[in-house]
């Protein structure tokens, strides 16, 4: 068992702020390397394991998790997805991306299930995790909590998201941020309804984008493009299902399986990347290091890969004073981060055409459909799409 952070005389090797995929993968990999660490999470345990988030895991993330003994649950209960379906005014087509590019597929595994698995593994390895422990301030290896307690650590790993305390602490030192706003907002809907198609579905419509993302036999995630500033409370269940039926053209392609709406939230599609995700004794992973729009489902995958890159670098620095891994952390991660952002940016342009009937809107949607037709007919385009869609 590692040192407990409530022992005032103790100094842990790494204090990890945040118990999402990045923080829990990092914590497990550090424990495997004999590094004392503590995870500090601002929310209660029930909120952590119950929050429904993305569930699309790319082959690289799956391989990283399974290689480190963290993939039993997703291998047993995850589902393989090989295709995605596009709908528009000219009909629909299905792209089997597992037969293009590197011939790889996704594993669909709800993120809350992954977090539950990672948390169980961390506790089984003797990890120290504290829930309902919001962090107030991070300064040179000292993490101060809102309740007046503090944790002293040789390193702090920030995995508390893009609005977290650790990112604020790093940017206060002058770390620059590259930022982009797609100008698009999604109404994210979680419905107690089984999937209505065997694939991820992307629907292009003059009223805006609609998306269908299967999660389990009884739960499906949907997205609707809505105006910026939309209040989710204005969208009743009936309004949501009516709009989804219109944009997904159910009159042509068959009805949706409907059910109670479990969650609805407005998500602004914004991105940013820190030009250097750490310095000195503070290092970031996951959304804390860079926020990516959900249009290509890359966020959790980047978090896993960044955590797996940061863990050996921190372990080497702690065990041998070898900082080469930390010095390379940005160079090792950022090329993959930017490639993921480039594809996410491209996907956003494909999915979100202009709304309305002005000449400019008609022109923009014609370009949108030209891109889609190229994807339907060009094998070279399909190979690039598949490699980017399943890659990190």
Helices (H), 191-298: 237-247, 250-253
Catalytic residues: 81, 202, 294, 298, 389
Q: How far apart are CA 286 and CA 280, in angstroms?
A: 18
232-236: list long-range contacts, CB under 8 Å, 24+ apart. 232/187, 232/264, 232/265, 232/266, 235/187, 235/264
The DSSP result for 267-326, as a single string, is: EEEEEEEESSSEETTEEE-GGGTEE--GGG--HHHHHHHHHHHHHHHHHHHHHH---HHH
CA angle 83, 86, 92 (to 5 degrees): 110
Q: At what angle do helices 299-320 and 324-351 cross, to 10 degrees?
A: 180
β-pairing verdict for 106-108 and 135-139: unpaired
For residues 150 and 256, is the Cβ–Cβ distance under 8 A? no
In angstroms, the CA 118 to CA 39 distance is 12
DSSP E strands, the chain: 12-17, 37-40, 56-57, 79-81, 83-88, 91-96, 106-108, 128-130, 135-139, 142-145, 150-158, 177-191, 200-203, 210-214, 220-226, 261-274, 278-279, 282-284, 290-291
């Amino acid at each position: 068992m590692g040192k407990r952070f409530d022992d005032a005389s103790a100094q842990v090797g790494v204090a990890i702020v945040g118990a999402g995929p990045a923080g829990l993968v990092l914590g497990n990999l550090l424990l495997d390397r004999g590094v004392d660490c503590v995870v500090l999470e601002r929310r209660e345990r029930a909120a952590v394991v119950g929050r429904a988030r993305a569930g699309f895991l790319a082959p690289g993330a799956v391989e990283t998790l399974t290689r480190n003994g963290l993939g039993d649950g997703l291998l047993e209960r995850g589902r393989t997805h090989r295709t995605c379906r596009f709908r528009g005014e000219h009909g629909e087509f299905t792209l089997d991306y597992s037969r293009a590019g590197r011939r790889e597929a996704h594993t669909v595994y709800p993120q809350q299930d992954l977090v539950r698995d990672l948390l169980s593994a961390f506790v089984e390895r003797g990890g120290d995790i504290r829930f309902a422990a919001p962090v107030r301030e991070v300064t040179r290896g000292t993490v101060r909590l809102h309740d007046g307690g503090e944790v002293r650590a040789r390193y702090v790993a920030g995995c508390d998201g893009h609005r977290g305390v650790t990112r604020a602490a790093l940017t206060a030192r002058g770390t620059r941020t590259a930022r982009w706003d797609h100008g698009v907002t999604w109404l994210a809907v979680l419905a107690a309804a089984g999937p209505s198609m065997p694939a991820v579905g992307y629907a292009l419509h003059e009223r805006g984008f609609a998306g269908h993302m299967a999660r389990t036999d009884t739960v499906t995630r949907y997205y609707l493009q809505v105006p910026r500033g939309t209040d989710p409370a204005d969208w009743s269940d009936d309004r949501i299902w009516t709009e989804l039926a219109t944009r997904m053209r159910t009159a042509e392609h068959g009805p949706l399986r409907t059910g109670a709406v479990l969650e609805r939230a407005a998500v602004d599609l914004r991105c940013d990347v820190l030009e250097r995700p750490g310095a000195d004794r503070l290092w970031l992973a996951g959304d804390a290091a860079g926020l990516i729009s959900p249009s290509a489902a890359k966020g959790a995958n980047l978090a896993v890969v960044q955590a797996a890159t940061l863990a050996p670098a921190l372990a080497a620095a702690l065990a041998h004073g070898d900082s080469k891994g930390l010095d390379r952390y940005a160079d090792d991660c950022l090329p993959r981060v930017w490639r993921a952002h480039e594809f996410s940016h491209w996907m956003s342009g494909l999915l979100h055409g202009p709304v309305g009937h002005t000449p400019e809107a008609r022109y923009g949607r014609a370009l949108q459909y030209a891109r889609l037709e190229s994807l339907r007919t060009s094998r070279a385009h399909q190979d690039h799409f598949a490699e980017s869609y399943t890659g990190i």
